[in-house]
Structures are given as C-alpha cells and as structure tokens.
Structure 1
Amino acid sequence: MTDVHCPVAPGVARPQQPGPIEPRTNGLAITAFVLGLLGFALLPVALGHIALRQIRRRGDAGTGLAAMGLVLGYAATVVYAALVLVVIWGTIRAATS
C-alpha cells in the first residue's frame, strides 16, 4: 500500500524555499571608502554623509564602508590642513629672517 499523504515521491528532492534577500551595498558608501583610501579629503566626507542618509532611508548595506570613508576623509583633511599650516609658517619664518 502506498502513502497517499506524501506529496513528493521518495528520493525526489523537495523544492527549496528562497532565502532572505540580502540588502544591496550602497554605491556611494563604496565610493566614499575607495576615495578615502586614495587620500581624497572632501569627496569621501560628502559622499559618506550622503551614503549614510541613503542607507537609513532605503535599508541598504554599507554603513561600515560609509563610516570608514568619513574617517579617512576627515583624517586626510586634518593632514592636508596641517601641511598648509606648516608651509605658511615656514614661508613667514623665511621671510622674516
């Protein structure tokens, strides 16, 4: 006697349910991170803030990339500002000696 309650024949694989859909990574977050790695200062900061806003609104992935883009962008801004101050200080010092 066969089992009439078995919807799938023995030995036949049951169809798999699709898994949860992963959110896509925000493109501006990726761009902010890459530009921060390349040493840009203002672009990663602007793009990082925009990316974080988009991530909150859309539910995209990439918060860490946007945050690192911000950190690298702000760090580059501080380094470049310090270099400008050193050049100005050296120019003033050379002009007064």
Structure 2
Amino acid sequence: MSTPQYQPQYQGYPQPTMQAKTNTLAIAALISSFFVSLLGIILGHIALNQIKTTGEGGRGLAIAALVIGYLSLALAVVIIIVVFASAAAYQG
C-alpha cells in the first residue's frame, strides 16, 4: 500500500475590495472649516446628506468639519462678546 500524496489546495489570491469613493464635499468642508467656519458647517451638513444617500466614504471628514466649524464659530462669538463687554466697561 502506498501512502496518499498530500495535494495542497490553493485558494488563489483574494479579490481586491473596492474602497468607497471619498465624498469631495466632505474634503472641502474640512478644509474650509479651518478658514471660514460657517462655510465648513454648511458644506459638512450637505456632505453628510450626500454620504447617507450615495454610500460614499468621508463621513468622518464631514463630522470633523462640523466639529471644527461649530467650535471655531462658538469661539469667535465668545471673543466678540468679551471684546464688546470690555469696551463697554472701559467706556463707562
């Protein structure tokens, strides 16, 4: 009797997975949120809506743009209030 030969089972190469295309508006929202916070907020909300309907990637970028945009807008409002309050206190 002969021993059975071991025949390796090759499964081949794994098929490459297609990455979801990153939403361009999400990228633009993130970049613009550093310079014009209101524009970053608007573009971020539009990008999130597009990502939800199309299934594209970039949800994290859009959320980051919203966070940065809202924080910088809130910081700008606080600075304006402090400046006007200190100017009013200096006048009176």
Fold match by TM threshold 0.5: yes
Who is 2:4 aligned against? none
Matched, 1:59 2:91: no
Matched, 1:20 2:17: yes
1:13-69 deviation per Cα after TM superposition (whole angstroms, max 9, x unaligned): xxx786332211001100111122x24210111000000000000010000000000
Residue identity matched to 2:27 = I
Structure 2: distance between partners of 1:60 and 1:23: 5
Q: Which 5+ residue runs of structure 1 have no aligned equivalent?
A: 1-15
TM-score (norm 2): 0.79
Residue identity matched to 1:73 = G
Who is 1:7 aligned against? none
Who is 1:81 aligned against? 77
Equivalences, count: 81
Who is 1:68 aligned against? 64
Structure 1: distance between partners of 2:71 and 2:55: 27
Preserved contact between residue 39 and residue 76 of structure 1 (Cα < 8 Å): no
TM-score (norm 1): 0.75
Residue identity matched to 2:22 = T
